A and B are shown apart, each in its own frame.
Chain A
Amino acid sequence: MSVGRELLRLFAFIRIGATGAVAYRTEAIVWVLSTTMPLIMIAFFGAVTRDGPIGGHSGASVVGYFLATFVVRSLTASWVSWQINLDIRDGTLATRLLLPVHPLVAYTAESIGSMPVRVLGSVVMGLVMLALLGSHALAQDPVIWALWCASIVLAWLLSLAVSVAIGALAFFVDSSAKLMDAWLAGLFVFSGYLFPVDLFPARVRAVVDWLPFRYQIGVPVELMVGALDRSTALDLVLRQLGFVVLGAITVRLVWQRGLARYSAYGG
């Protein structure tokens, strides 16, 4: 099987993902609005920091941090969990299994396909950030930006792995949607999405550093706003890579066992 043909198939699913992302104009707008939590947090922290910085975060740095959070979340979020859950529950997975393409390849490609819309939103928000705060609100070191690029890809892969693994739990439970909701609750609190993780007490921070949530959002955000030195950045990106590998192993295990169960009981 040639690489060219494989890429062509991949492109077919990417195209479907892209077309699906813009199929509902109203939903697309609602989706954009639903990711505006960082903007709300700007207003919140803006009010809180009016009387002085909190944990080293001034009003301006908070604006930069949450605009970066918006960009990172837009670029790395994965919603494939709900699709997998739905496909397993309503039996649509059967039709995916009968295509001569691995379903996980198809889900990944569809997820990539929905990116152009998200990238567009991120670019707009990045430009807003530059206009409001100037370039000094972003990291100045090209090495950090190189690590940021790696970190964004790894954050997306980690989010995808988490989303696929949790979605595939629908092979074992009635619905995995609630499990994803629980994961998102943890993500919002411990990833740096709702507030920077350095605001946590040291003991909590020590735990948070070994949870996967920060590596889905917080690390690329901290890189983007120049909050990390090279050494720390490299260390965190390597940990991110470790979580991606762990996520991939988990996906493989859950998917294989789930599919074996599906082939034994469901279909």
Chain B
Amino acid sequence: MIAVRNLRKHYRVTKRPPGMVAALRSLFHRRYELVKAVDGVSFDIAKGERVALLGENGAGKTTTLKVLSGLLHPTSGTARVFDEDPARRARSSLRRISLVLGQRQRLLWDLPPQETFELNRLVYEVPEADFRATLRELDDLLELGDLPRRPTRELSLGERMKCELAAALIHRPEILFLDEPTIGLDVGMQLAVRGFLERYGEQHGATILLTSHYMGDVVALCPRVIVMNHGTIQYDGALGELTHRTRPEKLVVLHLERSVDARDLVALGTLVAHRPLEVVLRVKPSELKAVLADALIRLPIRDLSVQDPPLEEIMAEIFAGRSDGRRAAPAEGES
């Protein structure tokens, strides 16, 4: 459904030191710098897959999404969506995709979202009956209520994002490109949007490619992740595998009936947190069983849980270079 081969997107940007003199000098003599936003990436995404593009700011995630949706033309390499070149922006392809930019809006600012829905119905040639059915479904999933009838400019950010998603899905796209769909939303709204996207993907077999800085989005929605750094792919594979390879240790969280001296804990593993009635230990997987058995015997445990390290920590570790990120990278195109 999506095939990317050795994709490169390089920009030439002006470079100017601060200050008035530099500003005047730049009028006559400009200095340029080559930015390699995307630098030779390859991957395939099959129909119905949900994939997250992860990376720090400037890693090339949004640029990749824009190339795939046809907004940017690649410097070299190829991108194919529905076996067509997205840069052509063929109507037949545009009808089957949707791009949601979390920081840009498609809703008509001066008018209620209902007007945008109606516009999209006519533009995408959605039959009236299908349109009504989709709206009812979106209303159920997103709990839109009377939001579509209120002026867009009067909606809160979260309410607007719900309507943005509804507007993006009126024509039931087969591929959904999402760039930071939950940015700026409160926790409750983030959960609602994640839940909605998951259900939409499952119900319609839609392919979802998203970028997000909120790892909660990724964990909830995407079994597969592509980690990008400086325009290249650092990892492409299952999320669980990334966790396992980068941070194989487990986190053991112990809830205690009474406080325990730190000296009684260090033998079990690396002490990550030590609060009066809660302890967090980092333990090697091979030692997990023995550690748990030992802890249950020796410590006054009220409850315990075993967790993977938070994805935020794993990503931070990859980008800080402390972990051997490239070690975690399967061969190009592997998924």
The interface of chain A, by Cβ under 8 A from chain B, is 5, 8-9, 11-13, 15-16, 19-20, 23-24, 90-92, 94-95, 97-101, 260, 263-265, 267
Query: How many Å lie between the Cα of A128 and that of B91 in the bound state?
Result: 48
Q: Does B118 contact A (CB under 8 A)?
A: yes
Given contacts A11-B122, A98-B98, 20 further A-B contacts (CB under 8 A): A8-B122, A12-B119, A12-B123, A15-B119, A16-B108, A16-B119, A91-B101, A92-B104, A92-B106, A94-B66, A95-B104, A95-B106, A97-B70, A97-B89, A98-B70, A99-B123, A100-B91, A100-B123, A264-B73, A267-B71
The reply to whether A92 and B105 form a contact with Cβ atoms under 8 Å apart is yes
Q: List 15 A-B contacts (CB under 8 A).
A: A11-B122, A12-B123, A15-B119, A23-B151, A91-B101, A91-B104, A92-B104, A92-B105, A94-B66, A95-B99, A95-B104, A99-B120, A100-B123, A263-B87, A264-B72
Find B71's partner among A5, A15, A98, A101 (CB 8 Å cutoff). A98
Q: Does B264 contact A (CB under 8 A)?
A: no
Query: How many Å lie between the Cα of A261 and that of B135 in the bound state?
Result: 37
Q: Does B69 contact A (CB under 8 A)?
A: yes
Q: Does B125 contact A (CB under 8 A)?
A: yes
Contact A9:B72 (CB < 8 A) given known A19-B111, A23-B111? no
Contact A101:B104 (CB < 8 A) given known A12-B118, A20-B110, A264-B73? no
The reply to whether A5 and B125 form a contact with Cβ atoms under 8 Å apart is yes
The reply to whether B104 and A98 form a contact with Cβ atoms under 8 Å apart is no
Expressed in whole angstroms, the minimum distance between the Cβ of A125 and any Cβ of chain B is: 26
Main secondary structure of the interface of A (DSSP, over half): helix
Query: How many Å lie between the Cα of A19 and that of B152 in the bound state?
Result: 14
The reply to whether B122 and A12 form a contact with Cβ atoms under 8 Å apart is yes
Find A19's partner among B71, B115, B124 (CB 8 Å cutoff). B115
Interface string of B53-80 (1 = CB under 8 A from A): 0000000000000100111110000000
Chain A residues with Cβ below 8 Å from B123 are 9, 12, 99-101
Chain A residues with Cβ below 8 Å from B247 are none
Query: How many Å lie between the Cα of A91 and that of B71 in the bound state?
Result: 11
Q: Closest 10 interchain pairs by CB?
A: A12-B122, A267-B71, A95-B106, A23-B110, A100-B91, A100-B94, A263-B73, A267-B72, A267-B66, A91-B104
Query: How many Å lie between the Cα of A24 and that of B110 in the bound state?
Result: 8
Chain A residues with Cβ below 8 Å from B101 are 91, 94-95
Chain A residues with Cβ below 8 Å from B124 are 100
Closest chain B residue to A24, Cβ basis? B110
Expressed in whole angstroms, the minimum distance between the Cβ of A113 and any Cβ of chain B is: 11
The reply to whether B122 and A97 form a contact with Cβ atoms under 8 Å apart is no
The reply to whether A265 and B11 form a contact with Cβ atoms under 8 Å apart is yes
Q: Does B95 contact A (CB under 8 A)?
A: yes
Chain A residues with Cβ below 8 Å from B72 are 263-264, 267
Query: How many Å lie between the Cα of A90 and that of B66 in the bound state?
Result: 16
The reply to whether A98 and B110 form a contact with Cβ atoms under 8 Å apart is no
Query: How many Å lie between the Cα of A23 and that of B124 in the bound state?
Result: 25
The reply to whether B111 and A98 form a contact with Cβ atoms under 8 Å apart is no
Find B104's partner among A8, A9, A94 (CB 8 Å cutoff). A94
Chain A residues with Cβ below 8 Å from B120 are 99
Chain B residues with Cβ below 8 Å from A5 are 125
Query: How many Å lie between the Cα of A168 and that of B101 in the bound state?
Result: 22
Chain A residues with Cβ below 8 Å from B110 are 20, 23-24
Closest chain B residue to A96, Cβ basis? B106
Chain B residues with Cβ below 8 Å from A94 are 66, 71, 99, 101, 104
Query: How many Å lie between the Cα of A186 and that of B30 in the bound state?
Result: 32
The reply to whether A13 and B71 form a contact with Cβ atoms under 8 Å apart is no
Contact A98:B94 (CB < 8 A) given known A9-B123, A24-B110, A92-B104? yes
Expressed in whole angstroms, the minimum distance between the Cβ of A262 and any Cβ of chain B is: 8
Query: How many Å lie between the Cα of A99 and that of B91 in the bound state?
Result: 8
Chain B residues with Cβ below 8 Å from A9 are 122-123, 125
Expressed in whole angstroms, the minimum distance between the Cβ of B282 and any Cβ of chain A is: 43
Expressed in whole angstroms, the minimum distance between the Cβ of A93 and any Cβ of chain B is: 9
Expressed in whole angstroms, the minimum distance between the Cβ of B179 and any Cβ of chain A is: 10
Expressed in whole angstroms, the minimum distance between the Cβ of A118 and any Cβ of chain B is: 17
Closest chain B residue to A10, Cβ basis? B122
Within 8 A of A (CB), among B33-56: none
